[in-house]
Amino acid sequence: MAVEVVLPALGLTVEKGTILKWIKEEGNEVNKGDSLYEVEADKVTTEVESPASGILKKILVPEGVEVPILSVVAVITGPSESLDEKYLRMVILEPEEQKDIAVSHQVQEASALVPDGSAVIKAPPAARRLARERGIDLSLIKGSGPGGTILLKDVEAFSAQGPQSEPKASALPRPPSPSRYRLGQVIPMNSVRKVIARRMVQSKSTVPHIYFFHDVDMERLLALREEIVDDFEKNEGTRVSVNDFLIKAVALTLREYPIINSKVSGEEIHIFPEINVGLAVAMEDGLIVPAIPKADQLSLGEIARYRADLVERARRARLTIEEIGRGTFTISSLARFDITFFAAALNPPQSGILTLGKVEERPVAQNGQLLIRRMMSQGLSVDHRIIDGVVAARFLQSLKDKLEQPSFHWRSQ
């Protein structure tokens, strides 16, 4: 009996996914649990496993095509089983259905102007990402997809050919620009930006936000990090960052104030059973927030390794749906920019997000003396349906105490 391979539900907000790569080919023997294909949806790339053992008889959705979740993308049969045309007509998308969701639409969202602004390169996000990683100019590649679309396999084939000649420079080279955008440009929202837009509208229009700010003396924490960083790397296999201390401190403080680790569901408040701290990671088209699970139960070394791995894979779009969907509280940092403080919208359905500004030297009055201390401004945005001002203030005060009096006991708590 034929078994249909469908694009699975990939998250509460995910409506469509793009087939990036077929790992198995038509005619291949597959076992249940084998990886069949890679799919990209809402900034995440993941592999989909075979639902059954047999022969991958027919691939219905080619690479580079976006389809709605639960669409049939392939069919698996027994070794000697055949597929009749009537069955295929039932499961395959009709041309009119494809017109709305397939490559022509995907290409419009994924198009990018070449440097001289004279032409459009048609390529899905995965192909452009691989080209960037390998230093390949997409204008040198001839696409094999519809309308000359450059597919992932085209980039891989081009890369395998070795070094290629560079395109001819224009007679009047344009000076480098700090932005890839230009005045007067009309930019269709790609799938990533659509998701961000939808979620931010949901957050600001349905949740009453309330904001709190405070300053933290980071002098002792930074001195502690500077003191232990070399030995920490030797013993733990990774360098400890300021964010690792912050993640641990936030997790321990959420343990003290679990109401901030919660969400609204109908007319009930649900406190999450775990403390999973998410760290916002900047990507080309927006932010993604992978979360460290049970952060309150991890040592500083375990948090550092988790954080380094998640951030690295986030930038390569190699996170799983679970890793970006399990967060219960978010930390968002602009500390590497000249930003003193900022307020952030909540990441639904979470009820709290902590924002971090840059660390800067400031004059501070202490015991009648004027000292220069390294300070950080932090902001807390919370869902006012759940969290009152006093609770938020107490949370920030407890967090401040941990950061200003750091100690090694964080490793084991």
Domain extent listing, the chain: 3-101, 102-162, 193-411
Q: Report percent pLDDT > 70 for the chain.
A: 76
By C-alpha distance, which of 324, 377, 388 is closest to 352?
Answer: 388
User: How far is the C-alpha of 395 from the C-alpha of 294, rounded, in Å?
Assistant: 19
φ, ψ for residue 163, nearest 5 deg: -55, 140
pLDDT at 95: 38
Instruction: Quote the tokens at residue 258.
Output: 């679990």
Contact 156, 130 (CB under 8 A): yes
Q: What does the pLDDT look like over 229-265, one tens digit per residue?
A: 999 999 988 899 999 999 999 999 999 999 999 999 8
37: enclosing H helix or E strand: strand 35-41
Q: What b/e string do you get for 91-117 counting C-beta neighbours within 10 Å, with b at 16 or more?
A: bbbeeeebeebbbebbbebbbeeebee
Model confidence at 173, in pLDDT bands (50, 70, 90)?
A: very low
CATH number of 193-411: 3.40.50.2300, 3.30.56.10, 2.40.50.140, 3.30.559.10?
A: 3.30.559.10
CATH architecture assigned to 102-162: Irregular (4.10)
> For 50, which DSSP code?
-
φ, ψ for residue 340, nearest 5 deg: -75, -50
Instruction: Quote the tokens at residue 109.
Output: 């969202």
Model confidence at 172, in pLDDT bands (50, 70, 90)?
A: very low
* Residue-wise DSSP of 82-108: ---HHHHHHHSPPHHHHHHHSHHHHHH
Contact 68, 7 (CB under 8 A): yes
pLDDT at 170: 38
Q: What does the pLDDT look like over 104-124, one tens digit per residue?
A: 333 333 333 333 333 446 665
Overall residue count recorded for the chain in this entry: 413
- Which of 136-150, 164-178, 248-262 has maximum average pLDDT? 248-262
Q: Does residue 304 register a pLDDT over 50? A: yes
Contact 365, 312 (CB under 8 A): no
Q: Point out the catalytic residue in the list 105, 214, 384, 409.
A: 384
Residue 384: active-site member: yes
- Which of 70-74, 197-201, 236-240, 254-258 has maximum average pLDDT? 254-258
pLDDT at 165: 44
* Domain 3-101 class, CATH top level: mainly beta
Mean pLDDT of 16-28: 90
Q: What does the pLDDT look like over 28-55, one tens digit per residue?
A: 999 998 999 998 876 677 888 898 999 9
370: enclosing H helix or E strand: strand 369-383
